[in-house]
């Protein structure tokens, strides 16, 4: 039970920081578009990466630095593109920022969240490397990993569906413009950090 609680706490503390993936889930929750599938995809992706970490993937990634380097540059390029897209949406304003303007197909939406998840080295660092390394310090690493996975499910579904509480604020087009600008800043900041590291 101690290993599970420690894993839950560790998972929640690592995932709660605002990042590209979380900003996307928040936005999808606000527009109420494919939110269940976005939350499920993010939580299952985290669960898979945590499973890899707990089962020793951290050692493999340290043995293949070129893989990590390629992920870093691909992730930075994607974040720059996504940030530019958010800035353009903020500039255009109007209908493209209202919920009814967010009509991307499920496949396209999941493609975006997949890129934000799997091309983001910070996601790999948090789930595979950090959770994997910390789990090895507990007597039941698999139970620790299960706790961390539970934390991911709790966080993503709370963020996605909890965003509805902010819906009255985002009834105004200006609020959507501010959100798009903030998302763009987050994306470009993370990209800059990836390139600078």
Local confidence band at 119 (pLDDT 50, 70, 90 cut-offs): confident
Model pLDDT, residue 190? 72
List the chain domain ranges: 2-196
Say how far apart CA 165 and CA 29 lie, in whole Å: 10
Task: Provide the pLDDT confidence category of residue 62 given band limits of 50, 70 and 90.
Answer: low
The pTM (predicted TM-score) of the whole model is: 0.71
Q: How far apart are CA 26 and CA 107, in angstroms?
A: 18
User: Please, what is the average pLDDT of the chain?
Assistant: 80
């Amino acid at each position: 039970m101690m290993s599970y609680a420690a894993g839950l706490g560790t998972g929640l503390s690592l995932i709660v920081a605002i990042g590209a993936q979380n900003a996307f889930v928040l936005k999808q929750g606000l527009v109420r578009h494919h939110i269940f599938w976005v939350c499920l995809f993010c939580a299952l992706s985290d669960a898979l990466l945590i499973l890899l970490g707990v089962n020793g993937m951290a050692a493999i990634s340290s043995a293949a630095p070129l893989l990590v380097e390629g992920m870093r540059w691909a992730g930075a390029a994607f974040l720059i593109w996504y940030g530019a897209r958010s800035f353009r949406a903020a500039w255009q304003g109007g209908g493209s920022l209202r919920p009814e303007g967010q009509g991307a197909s499920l496949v396209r939406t999941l493609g975006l969240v997949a890129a934000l998840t799997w091309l983001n080295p910070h996601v790999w660092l948090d789930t595979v490397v950090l959770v994997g390394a910390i789990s090895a310090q507990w007597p039941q690493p698999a139970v620790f990993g299960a706790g961390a996975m539970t934390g991911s499910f709790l966080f993503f579904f709370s963020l996605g569906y909890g965003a509805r509480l902010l819906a009255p604020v985002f009834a105004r087009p200006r609020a959507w413009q501010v959100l798009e600008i903030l998302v763009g800043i987050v994306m470009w900041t993370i990209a800059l950090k990836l390139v600078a590291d």
